[in-house]
Amino acid sequence: MTEEFLPVGKISGAFGIKGWVKVFSFTEPRSNILEYTPLFIKIQGEWKEIEVTGGKAQGKGVVMGFKNVTDRNQTLSLIGAELAIRKSQLAPAEDNEYYWTDLIGLEVINEQEQTLGLVDSLLETGANDVLVVKTVQGVEILVPFVLDVIVKSVDIDKQRILVDWQIDY
């Protein structure tokens, strides 16, 4: 079985002259990316473990240094590289809590047993998260992820989310 990797950020630029990089973090809060050990970087399509030597939140992103990357020239080839962790590094989700990555690809059906589509992605709106559901026709349906009100059940094993939502909302 291949190890499943979850992207947690992307290198967006060089920072300073000592080989540090700017990172756009996908974690919430953004500085959580600094807590993961080990961290992996995708180089030429392959995940390789990389050791973080330091880092901090900086502006809207994060800056960090890596072992054996000691000058700005070395960082230039890393710009655009994805950073990830193994899925097994995540703590199990609590009851009625879900990692977004576990919801992507699940079938969404309503209480009338009509298939709305598959979860393509999620949006964070502040009030609540929103499922972006893609229909077979490629149309996006936005469904607020409000447990027990709109989202009636999530069954990871059956790969299905039951919602109180009409197909024509």
Tell me which architecture the domain covering 5-88 has in CATH: Beta Barrel (2.40)
CATH of 100-163, one of 2.40.30.30, 3.30.460.10, 3.40.1190.10, 2.30.30.240: 2.30.30.240
Question: Is residue 1 very low, low, confident or very high in pLDDT (cuts 50, 70, 90)?
Answer: very low
| Residue that is written with structure tokens 């901090």 in the block | 56
* d(C-alpha 24, C-alpha 126), whole Å: 20
* Side chain identity at residue 65, one-letter code: G
Q: What is residue 134's three-state secondary structure? A: strand
- The stretch 14-40 carries a mean pLDDT of 92
- To which H or E segment does residue 143 belong? strand 140-144
**What is residue 103's three-state secondary structure?**
helix
Q: How do the domains of the chain map onto residue ranges? A: 5-88, 100-163
Query: E-assigned strands of 5-137?
Result: 5-15, 20-25, 39-43, 46-50, 52-58, 61-66, 82-86, 107-110, 115-124, 129-134
CB 134 within 8 A of CB 117: yes
Cα–Cα distance between 21 and 87 in angstroms, integer?
24
Number of H helices, E strands in the chain: 2, 13
Picking from 1-10, 84-93, 113-122, 158-167, which range would have the lowest pLDDT averaged per residue?
A: 1-10
Look at residue 14 and tell me whether its pLDDT is greater than 70.
Answer: yes
φ, ψ of residue 39 in degrees (nearest 5)? -115, 145
* Contacts of residue 95, Cβ cutoff 8 Å, sequence gap at least 6: none
145 neighbors 129 (Cβ within 8 angstroms): yes
Give per-residue pLDDT as tens, 95-154: 888 888 889 999 999 999 999 999 999 888 878 899 999 998 999 999 999 999 999 999
